[in-house]
Structure 1
Amino acid sequence: MLEKLEMFIAVAQEEHFGRAATRLGITQPSLSAGIKQLEDRLGVKLIFRGSRFGGLTPEGQRALVWARRIVGDARQLKEEMRFTRHGLAGELRIAAIPTALSWSARLAARFSETHPRVSFTILSRTSGEILTLLDNLEVDAGISYLDNEPMGKVTTEPLYRERYMLVCREDSPFAGRESVGWNELLGSRLCLLTKDLQNRRIINRNFERAGVLPEAMIESNSTVALVATVLEGEWVTVLPADIARFLALENGLKLIPLMESYTGHTVGLVAPYREPHTPVLQALLIEARRLATLL
């Protein structure tokens, strides 16, 4: 039954039988047979399908909620038993917003010092994608904004509050300044993160508060690409202080604080709401709390 539920979750996520089969490492006929057996067991049709995936039936949508819950509980039981026999071990999958990747690496490295038998996979994703991955059981935790957009029912552990820096070259007119106002960037050659990222939406609102409509001629979902662009000429970018220091100072770039008349948004660890958490995830939440007090 559990195996069939995992097949059903995979099809719902991929919205394609072939991709779901590839992801699970089975043949498409085996997947289709598994879904049919699950439907027969439950006595309802879960998926509209003809020659291709046609979406979930109303019963399938309700069953998906239960399937995620049952599979999540089963995985937690497995983790609990492994902890009882072998101590803290396993794998943690973390998805982080691009501007928090340095924090995700810091958290993983510090956690590994204490718990060397736990391995990590760190992915770069948007805040919206992180919530979807958590819902779909594809990651164990995320690092994202905690107080800017609705998150649903999750467990959170604050890590830091964002402050913004202007990143520019040494020959920039802004380079010698102690601070810069958002409105002063009007007319500058801006390169910024793409609009699908929550960080960009926050930056846009800051510009709007200053009465400026930002015009970014180069956009990227990569902070590395933005810093590389600044290195190429008269470009400037805006990044949170931590990732700006990590990427820019080694390249000889200048970081100038942007004057703020608001409280920065909080970024932190996000995990599915579940009591109790698995031992590994509970230890990660504790390490996040410890890290936040140290830095």
Structure 2
Amino acid sequence: MDIKQLKFLVALDETRHFGHAAVRCHITQPTLSMRLRKLEDELGLELVLRGQRFEGFTEAGLRVLAWARSLLAAHDGLYAEAAACRGQLIGTLRLGVVPLAGFDPMHLVQLFASQHPGLRFQLFALSSEAILERLARNQLDLGLSYLERLNRDSFTCLELAPTRMGLLHDRRHFNFATPSLNWQALVTLPLGLLSSGMHFRQSIDHGFRSRGLVLQPLLETDAVHQLLQAVGVGLCCAVVPIDSGLDSLAAHLDLIPIDDAQTLAPLGLILRSHAPRSALADACFNEAKRLLAPPADG
């Protein structure tokens, strides 16, 4: 058994496709299949359910997969730890971010990249539940998510400022004479929103419902880029976090605050509490704390 076989197994789990897993691992599909069968022979277990295509993992395969993830995390952590001992920070930082986060994750990425040129980054747009699950399984290093259901025994967090909401619009299609808008004014506008069930959308629904207002969005989507496209063509306006950075993506976009509008739960940067945890995750979390710390008085 070698570390590459474990990487192949994890890649198959993440892609759910033999061909895609092979491409990710920069090998041919027959080589991937051969190496996985060799792993099965060495362990004396059937790990993968095979038909004409990938059909999933056996019960034993799922148990082995969990160990494979832990071993790979320890392997990557060892190299990151060695680099940290040399005063370097290398590797890939995996950051999970909820859609329409009230903090621009590029602030963190820019900070880490400027301080550590050897770092690479993977960003994943995920639900709060998926972020916590992947952090627990060591599939993410850090998460930018809501803290409503956070288990403080399992995770360490840096709580950020409350997420305030505003109305994103294109000045070529919409103009507002007031410095802010109330919830009643939003009822008359064509609105584009994230799909129901997402935390940010739940906060919007609560804002309307608690004021006895009926929300009838023109457009609903689970993709932020589609929301921005709809705003850009003048189809609708969108309720988004004020500090998301979305209004800076184009000169004709503007963001006007909504009175008394913020998410139901605070946003935070989340780190897995227990080992195995990489030096990379620790270092970036600590740098984020310094970046986001309130200025000292005086």
TM-score when normalising by structure 1: 0.81
Q: Say if 2:277 is the partner of 1:277.
A: yes
Name the CA distance, whole Å, in 2 between partners of 1:11 and 1:35.
10
CA offsets per residue over residues 30-64 of structure 1, 9 Å max, x none?
21222222222222211222332222111112222
- Opposite residue 32 of structure 2, the aligned amino acid is L
Name the CA distance, whole Å, in 2 between partners of 1:229 and 1:27.
41
Name the CA distance, whole Å, in 1 between partners of 2:17 and 2:253.
48
List runs of 5+ in structure 2 lacking aligned partners: none
Deviation at 1:169, TM superposition (A): 6.4
Name the CA distance, whole Å, in 2 between partners of 1:209 and 1:150.
28
- Opposite residue 216 of structure 2, the aligned amino acid is E
RMSD of the TM alignment (CA)?
A: 3.4
Q: Aligned to 1:216, what secondary structure does the other structure show?
A: coil
Q: Aligned to 1:106, what secondary structure does the other structure show?
A: helix
Name the CA distance, whole Å, in 1 between partners of 2:282 and 2:132.
19
Q: Aligned to 1:60, what secondary structure does the other structure show?
A: helix
List runs of 5+ in structure 1 lacking aligned partners: none
Q: 1:86 to 1:291 in 2, by over 3 A?
A: closer
Q: 1:38 to 1:143 in 2, by over 3 A?
A: same
Q: Aligned to 1:142, what secondary structure does the other structure show?
A: strand
Match of 1:176?
178
Name the CA distance, whole Å, in 2 between partners of 1:78 and 1:256.
46
Name the CA distance, whole Å, in 2 between partners of 1:160 and 1:61.
39
Deviation at 1:82, TM superposition (A): 2.4
CA offsets per residue over residues 143-189 of structure 1, 9 Å max, x none?
222225889944432233211123456796864164413x5533431
Deviation at 1:228, TM superposition (A): 5.6
CA offsets per residue over residues 112-161 of structure 1, 9 Å max, x none?
34334334344444445545654665543232222258899444322332
Q: Aligned to 2:14, what secondary structure does the other structure show?
A: helix
Question: Contact (CA 8 Å) 2:102, 2:164: kept in 1 or not?
Answer: no
Q: Aligned to 1:88, what secondary structure does the other structure show?
A: coil
Match of 2:37?
36
Name the CA distance, whole Å, in 2 between partners of 1:280 and 1:60.
29
Name the CA distance, whole Å, in 2 between partners of 1:263 and 1:200.
9
Question: Contact (CA 8 Å) 1:191, 1:217: kept in 2 or not?
Answer: yes
Name the CA distance, whole Å, in 2 between partners of 1:220 and 1:152.
34
Match of 2:73?
72
Q: Among all aligned residue pairs of Structure 1 and Structure 2, give the percentage whose two residues are the same amino acid.
A: 29
Question: Contact (CA 8 Å) 1:162, 1:241: kept in 2 or not?
Answer: yes
Deviation at 1:101, TM superposition (A): 8.2
Aligned counterparts, 1:52-131, within 5 A: 52-85=53-86, 87-100=88-101, 103-131=104-132
Deviation at 1:81, TM superposition (A): 1.8
Match of 1:190?
191
Report which stretch shifted further, 54-63 or 105-114.
105-114
Deviation at 1:284, TM superposition (A): 0.9
Deviation at 1:72, TM superposition (A): 0.9
Match of 2:167?
166
Q: 1:87 to 1:26 in 2, by over 3 A?
A: same
